[in-house]
């Protein structure tokens, strides 16, 4: 790829005055996973200098220049790259392991070789999503009737699907494959809940799904388990008791 081995200095100068390439690549990665930022080189030459830096902080985090015996990674000012960087000595590609949301952002690759070139990687880190929690919502007053509650409210079970500490997600109820309701948040670290009313004898399949643009998690509703009629709480079943 880099052929002007003996003309390095000449071409570096040429690069400075105009031939700098400027490419941006977006990469998405799940929290806890690894991401490799590829130089797309099969092999780097002795004289080539490779520099990786964090754009926002102008911080050098990895460098290769074999001609001067340099092959290093750095932990960064707040040490957030400590034990997380792997530099490939053949290709110069940089791997960030066990990534967290703190590692999201732009990374710049600069190559000083026959030509000077650079490439920017925009790294998005997605949080792992918790499985939503479906619980009975006893705060709904539909069955704690005052007078003669309607028969339909007696047959309904109020549920709520909830998640805690999420951000940039959508929480939705599905009946089979069709969307019933959903709620979205863009904030970080918020708790979300979404209600659902079903009839006790409903035989449809319901599920509560949390998603971001990258992944999703599903919790299926088990009506027979969650919507048991408690004799103590609902006057609706007193006629059944009176038969005994």
Ligand X SMILES: *[C@@H]1O[C@H](CO)[C@@H](O)[C@H](O)[C@H]1NC(C)=O
Buried b (16+ CB within 10 A) or exposed e, 211-233: bbeeeebebebebeeebeeeeee
Q: Which is nearer to ligand X, 8 or 143 (CB)?
A: 143
Task: Name the one residue in this structure whose structure tokens are 């960087």.
Answer: 85
Instruction: Work out how close the CB of 210 gets to ligand X at its nearest, in angstroms, rounded to a whole number.
Output: 9
Q: Is residue 67 within 8 Å of residue 46, measured between CB atoms?
A: yes
Q: Does 168 bind ligand X (CB under 6 A)?
A: yes
Q: Does 205 bind ligand X (CB under 6 A)?
A: no
Q: Does 231 bind ligand X (CB under 6 A)?
A: no
Q: Which is nearer to ligand X, 114 or 196 (CB)?
A: 196
Q: Does 110 bind ligand X (CB under 6 A)?
A: no
Q: What's the order of all strands across the beta sheet hosting 116-126? A: 22-30, 116-126, 105-112, 49-54, 59-65, 70-73
Q: How far apart, in whole angstroms, are the C-alpha atoms of residue 163 and residue 124?
A: 22
Instruction: Work out how close the CB of 151 gets to ligand X at its nearest, in angstroms, rounded to a whole number.
Output: 9
Q: Is residue 174 within 8 Å of residue 182, measured between CB atoms?
A: no
Instruction: Work out how close the CB of 87 gets to ligand X at its nearest, in angstroms, rounded to a whole number.
Output: 22
Q: Which is nearer to ligand X, 88 or 110 (CB)?
A: 110
Which x/- pattern, by CB under 6 A, does the window 121-160 give for ligand X? ------------x-x-----xx-------x-xx--x----
Binds ligand X by CB under 6 A, chosen from 114, 209, 223, 227: 209
Q: Does 228 bind ligand X (CB under 6 A)?
A: no
Q: Which is nearer to ligand X, 41 or 121 (CB)?
A: 121
Direct distance between the N- and C-terminal alpha carbons of the chain, in angstroms, rounded to an integer: 89
Q: Which is nearer to ligand X, 28 or 75 (CB)?
A: 28
- State phi, psi for 224 to the nearest 5 degrees: -65, -30
Q: Does 13 bind ligand X (CB under 6 A)?
A: no
| Opening angle at CA 186, ends 184 and 190, nearest 5 | 85
For residue 224, give the DSSP letter.
Answer: H
Q: Which is nearer to ligand X, 72 or 141 (CB)?
A: 141
Q: Does 28 bind ligand X (CB under 6 A)?
A: no
């Amino acid at each position: 790829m880099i052929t002007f081995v003996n003309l390095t200095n000449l071409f570096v100068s040429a690069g400075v005055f105009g031939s700098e390439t400027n490419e941006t690549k977006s990469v998405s990665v799940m929290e806890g996973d690894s991401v490799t930022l590829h130089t797309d080189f099969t092999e780097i030459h002795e004289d080539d200098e490779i520099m990786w830096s964090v754009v926002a902080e102008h911080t050098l985090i990895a460098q290769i220049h074999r001609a001067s015996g340099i092959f290093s990674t750095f932990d960064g000012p707040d040490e957030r790259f400590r034990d997380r960087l792997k530099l490939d000595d053949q290709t110069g590609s940089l791997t960030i392991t066990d990534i967290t949301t703190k590692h999201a952002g732009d990374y710049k690759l600069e190559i000083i070789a026959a030509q000077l070139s650079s490439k920017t990687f925009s790294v998005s880190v997605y949080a792992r999503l918790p499985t939503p929690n479906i619980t009975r919502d006893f705060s709904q007053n539909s069955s704690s009737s005052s007078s003669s509650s309607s028969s339909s409210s007696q047959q309904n079970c109020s549920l709520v699907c909830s998640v805690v500490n999420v951000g940039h997600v959508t929480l939705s109820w599905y009946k089979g494959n069709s969307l019933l309701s959903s709620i979205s948040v863009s904030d970080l670290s918020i708790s979300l809940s979404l209600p659902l009313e079903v009839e006790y004898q409903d035989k449809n399949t319901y599920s509560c799904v949390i998603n971001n643009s990258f992944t999703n998690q599903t919790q299926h509703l088990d009506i027979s388990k969650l919507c048991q009629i408690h004799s103590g709480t609902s006057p609706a079943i007193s006629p059944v008791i009176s038969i005994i």
